[in-house]
Amino acid sequence: MPTGTPAPPVFDGVADVIAVLVLLAEFGMLRAALLPAQIRLYAGQSLLLAVLAAIAAQQRNVPDLYALAVLSAVLKVLAVPAVLRRMLRDTGTDIAGSGVLGVATRTLCALLATAFGFFATAGLPIRAAVLPRTALSLAVAAVLVAFILMIFRRDVVSQAVGFFSMENAVSLASLVIAATMPFLLEVVLLFDLLVAVVVFSALIRIHHNRRQSLSTRKLSGLRG
């Protein structure tokens, strides 16, 4: 029998697969041409996180994570996408503004960021409490890809979705290394996300009302 690295336990394998899917959803948002598709990917990514939280709750006996999974699903899978979809309906725009770079170049940049995030984190002496450590590296990679999304897409909806998905990536990281954070704090963080979504939506509406467009190309009057 050949010997080598032992196969990971089923739970770790499932968790890693879900973390990879979270990262892939991020790549999907980066290349999606239609804004509704981007919002669907965000909802899917959020659902993956909720499922991961529920699995971790069952496998590691952290009951708070069940409640977190349900709340997270209600808020991020249903409420936030609903707010964004309604806003899209009101503005009558489906197509995202074109990116600063082409899809291939954007994807290449995201791959480089992913490799950097993954390998830089892999070397850190941090032990995971609930989920396998690989998920932390994937979460850091997803944060960096979210930044690429915010920087290289020139429409306000993509940039907002980029921010919300970055929050998802940070949530994944917190599931890995701080899953037992008191439930009350998790709820407060989710509430805060809700407030941020409302404000982002309000500003997107104001922008659309003034410019009749969701593009950020015209937002170049100020010098920073």
Partner 1 sequence: MSTLLVALLVVPFVAAGVCLIAPPTAGRILTAGVGVGSFGAVLALVTATRAHSVAAGFLRVDAVSTIFLLATALVYATVALYAIGYLRPEHVDRRYCRRILAGINLFAWALLAAPMVNGFTLLWVAVELTTVISALLVAIDDTDAATEAAWKYVLIASAGLGLALFGTVFYYYAGSQVLGTSYTFTFDALTMHSAGLPHTAVRLGFVLAVLGFGTKVGFFPVHTWLPDAHSEAPTPVSALLSGSLLAVSFYAILRFYQVAVATLGAAFPRQVLLAFGIASLALAALYLLDQRDIKRLLAYSSIEHMGILAVGMSFGARIAVVGVLLHVLAHAAAKGNAFMGAGVFVRAFGTKDLTAMRRGFTVLPWSAPLFLLAILALAAAPPFGIFRSEFYIVAGGLAAGHSGTVAVLVALVILAFAGLTWTTTALVFPADEAGITTASASLSSNAADGRTSDESIAKTPDRPTPRLGREFSAWLVIPPVLGLAVLVLLGMHPPASLIDLLTRGAVELGGG
Chain contacts with partner 1 (rule: CB under 8 A) = 124-126, 129, 143, 147, 150, 156, 159-160, 163, 166-167, 170, 173-174, 177-182, 185, 188-189, 192, 195-196, 198-200, 202-203, 206-207, 210-211, 216, 219-224
Nearer Cβ to partner 1, position 6 or 224? 224
Nearer Cβ to partner 1, position 27 or 164? 164
Q: What's the closest the beta carbon of residue 149 comes to partner 1, in angstroms?
A: 11
Q: What's the closest the beta carbon of residue 6 comes to partner 1, in angstroms?
A: 26
Q: What's the closest the beta carbon of residue 100 comes to partner 1, in angstroms?
A: 15
Nearer Cβ to partner 1, position 40 or 205? 205
Nearer Cβ to partner 1, position 15 or 62? 62
Q: What's the closest the beta carbon of residue 200 comes to partner 1, in angstroms?
A: 7
DSSP string, the chain: ----SPPPPHHHHHHHHHHHHHHHHHHHHHH-SBHHHHHHHHHHHHHHHHHHHHHHHHHHT-THHHHHHHHHIIIIIIIHHHHHHHHHHHHT--BPPPBSS-HHHHHHHHHHHHHHHHHHHHTS----SSS-THHHHHHHHHHHHHHHHHHHB-BHHHHHHHHHHHHHHHHHHHHHH-TTS-HHHHHHHHHHHHHHHHHHHHHHHHHHHHHSS-BSTT--S---
Q: What's the closest the beta carbon of residue 7 comes to partner 1, in angstroms?
A: 27
Nearer Cβ to partner 1, position 5 or 170? 170
Q: What's the closest the beta carbon of residue 4 comes to partner 1, in angstroms?
A: 29
Nearer Cβ to partner 1, position 5 or 56? 56
